[in-house]
């Protein structure tokens, strides 16, 4: 029930942001939008070294592409528009967006990813060592 409500609200939010944001400017992103972008999607990170799958149940599977080693963690989104990962330590990143990217900042570090780089489903299994 909650997922349907989040998706409905977020689609409206994405339309408004897409019209008003320019590629160079960071704009607000709602927690619901962030959940939709990540939940059930995979993304390559760490300069192409790791692929992460963010499951709808709050688990995240990280697989090192070169070695096939997998690590399991947890993830969640806060009301303050942070995305957090919990493993041995907890790490949270403030999220914003441009027209084409989702950006994350923590201290003096800022990382942006193209919105079309998020792949549906768990893509990590192609890299796992069996």
Task: Give the domain ranges of the chain.
Answer: 2-126
Q: What is the pTM of this model?
A: 0.76
For residue 12, the model assigns a pLDDT of 32
Q: 32 with 10: CB under 8 angstroms?
A: yes
Q: Which CATH number fits domain 2-126: 1.10.260, 1.10.8, 2.40.128, 2.60.40?
A: 2.40.128
For residue 24, the model assigns a pLDDT of 53
Sign for the CA dihedral angle at 90, 115, 54, 6 comes to positive
Residue 84: partners with Cβ closer than 8 Å, 6 or more residues away: 75, 76, 77, 78, 90, 91, 92, 93
Structure-token pair, residue 51: 């692929």
pLDDT averaged over consecutive 10-residue blocks of the chain (130 residues)? 35 36 67 94 92 96 95 94 92 93 92 94 89
Sign for the CA dihedral angle at 52, 87, 114, 118 comes to positive
């Amino acid at each position: 029930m909650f997922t349907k409500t989040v998706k409905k609200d977020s689609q409206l939010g994405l339309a408004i942001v897409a019209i008003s944001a320019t590629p160079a400017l960071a704009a607000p992103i709602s927690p619901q939008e962030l959940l939709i972008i990540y939940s059930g999607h995979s993304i390559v990170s760490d300069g192409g070294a790791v692929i992460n799958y963010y499951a709808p149940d709050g688990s995240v599977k990280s697989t090192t592409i070169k070695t096939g080693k997998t690590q399991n963690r947890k993830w969640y989104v806060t009301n303050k528009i942070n995305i957090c990962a919990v493993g041995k330590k907890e790490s949270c990143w403030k999220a914003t967006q441009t027209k084409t990217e989702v950006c994350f900042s923590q201290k003096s570090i800022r990382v942006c990813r193209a919105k079309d780089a998020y792949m549906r489903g768990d893509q990590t299994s192609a890299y796992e060592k069996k």
